[in-house]
Structure 1
């Protein structure tokens, strides 16, 4: 096993990404130690049940066409873990990923020692922090962040996204997000922050009501794409 393989194995032994612990406490603590990299550039956050990944790729393509430097965080990866963190459309090379890991790991150890809510940093939280750190270091002009699961408690939501995109909402991860479209939409609506722009795909009526109410409640400006 080479050094990169050892690092990947170490990261992936953390609490798996398909298990959501409903708190932002750990990612907030780690990002604070990293100097809050999530605040270094505007954030476009993408949630939803279907089409998140392709939507992020389309947004990235449009921003690159505008000659902007773009960081994109997505999941899962197909072959190499660096695919999750892309800068200008290119995945992090193994050596770059390893260097970034070595920067983040000592600070993650501090957060792990606290075991906030009884859990150390999860795999997805660690990767999210690495992405924000990579984008701040690059630096990029815009960060495009794909939500892993839900929205409100997803670690990408440590950022106050300037633009919240919600792809079609349907039944998914019901053991965590809820048993109705309304409950699931409520979780995903958590990415819509006060004063932000909300771009909403055509939704089932139950989801549309929840998302529209969230926009009204926080003073977000909604735009519906049909």
Structure 2
């Protein structure tokens, strides 16, 4: 279902999108922004514009989600659970994909006309208040306006960067979710983990329920220092009682803090998705103040798809796409590949990463769980893009076999051409590699059918 039915005015839509394109995009060009180093980031401008808009967020129940890994998966799971409960969900996803794709209503991208309406409302409010917004701030406000216009019952909002100074933190979440805390958007200097935790804990507001995934005990004082109503934590207040590999995913049995006993099949690969499912169910029960039934959860997860998370894009050879870009994501990816797939041939990783990442830490974590026969180090274009030299150098330092490629397309084609049907090829390192890889696979498949 789209947010609005009707013909769109292409000129009006183009004018609205052009406004966004003229704005500075600090989030995409975020090299140098890390936990404890957030100079130039504040919420004054978007908060002022939100006030002029009449605080549309206050009409919504809000689940606000941050975490080093898992926040996108949890956001889509909560969206599905709210929808299966018979309510309307608006979902705002982290800055990947088109603006329409990032703002979803009832599980579908926002239609052009509704998007234009919301952008124009934001532009007018910014001009009226004399505020200059960044692109991400404007898109965040656009999502909130679109959700109120629809209207939706629950807004599921994924943090873009860290948390405390992220543009999404202009809202007060009824439920604040922290899926995990690990090494990303950090310089890995002394106290880096605590600094990451401090930034992510910034989304916790007075009166909110905090739902925690796997967070280290030593970080709990940081979480507890924030003004929340209640904290529920995985393995303490809710837990996965049984987690088994099943055909096409996982079979789970879990219990929530409200004592719901749920058994469900999750059609996703990886033990980390079991924890994500538990967090999502807990967050949904918390925001709706209900006990979810097996039938509701099964209906929500029946057709659940998380693009770019252990995404099987082809068989023979098996090609898996994953957008994770930090060491913890690489570790989970390696564990999942080792656990879920039998590989008779070569294990090849086609890797592309944005500037500011740590390819050595990433490759070391992936290779420890899923030993690789070859790394194809690829250049990635666009903002924050880089050539593959530093990836190749990191592989060399780790004594891994490596070749260079000028693009994801060239690297994936080489892996396909030089391998055979028994190989497993994983394309990973950034969400920026996903669409080029999909385009290559479509091109190769079309050529094979000619």
**TM beyond 0.5:** yes
8 Å contact kept, 2:99–2:139: no
Higher strand share: 2
Scaled by the length of structure 1, the TM-score of the pair is 0.86
Residue 42 of structure 2: aligned partner: 23
Report 1:170-181 matches (<5 A).
170-174=182-186, 180-181=192-193
Structure 1 residues 88-140: Cα deviation after superposition (integer angstroms, max 9, x where no partner): 111111232122222221112234x34xxxxx201111011111111111111
Report 1:29-48 matches (<5 A).
29-48=48-67
Residue 117 of structure 1: aligned partner: none
Residue 150 of structure 1: aligned partner: 162
Separation of aligned partners in 2, 1:101 and 1:196: 29
Q: Which has the larger radius of gyration?
A: 2
Residue 21 of structure 2: aligned partner: 12
8 Å contact kept, 1:194–1:220: yes
Report 1:178-189 matches (<5 A).
180-189=192-201
Residue 138 of structure 2: aligned partner: 126
Scaled by the length of structure 2, the TM-score of the pair is 0.45
Secondary structure, aligned partner of 2:64: strand
8 Å contact kept, 1:171–1:179: no
Residue 74 of structure 2: aligned partner: 55
8 Å contact kept, 1:38–1:158: no
8 Å contact kept, 2:209–2:231: yes
8 Å contact kept, 1:60–1:144: yes
Secondary structure, aligned partner of 2:194: helix
Number of matched pairs = 213
Shift of the alpha carbon at 1:41? 1.1
Structure 1 residues 116-170: Cα deviation after superposition (integer angstroms, max 9, x where no partner): xxxx201111011111111111111111110111111112111111100001111
Secondary structure, aligned partner of 1:128: helix
Unaligned regions of 5+ residues in structure 1, if any? 115-119
Residue 222 of structure 1: aligned partner: 231
Residue 96 of structure 1: aligned partner: 114
Pair 1:74-2:93 in alignment: yes
Shift of the alpha carbon at 1:223? 0.9
Structure 1 residues 163-186: Cα deviation after superposition (integer angstroms, max 9, x where no partner): 0000111122226xx960101110
Residue 86 of structure 1: aligned partner: 104
Secondary structure, aligned partner of 1:200: strand
Secondary structure, aligned partner of 1:218: coil
Shift of the alpha carbon at 1:66? 0.6
Separation of aligned partners in 2, 1:96 and 1:132: 12
Separation of aligned partners in 2, 1:37 and 1:137: 9
Residue 174 of structure 2: aligned partner: 162
Shift of the alpha carbon at 1:22? 2.5
Shift of the alpha carbon at 1:84? 1.2
Separation of aligned partners in 2, 1:164 and 1:7: 31
Secondary structure, aligned partner of 2:180: coil
Bigger drift between 146-155 and 92-101 goes to 92-101
Bigger drift between 16-25 and 42-51 goes to 16-25
Secondary structure, aligned partner of 2:115: helix
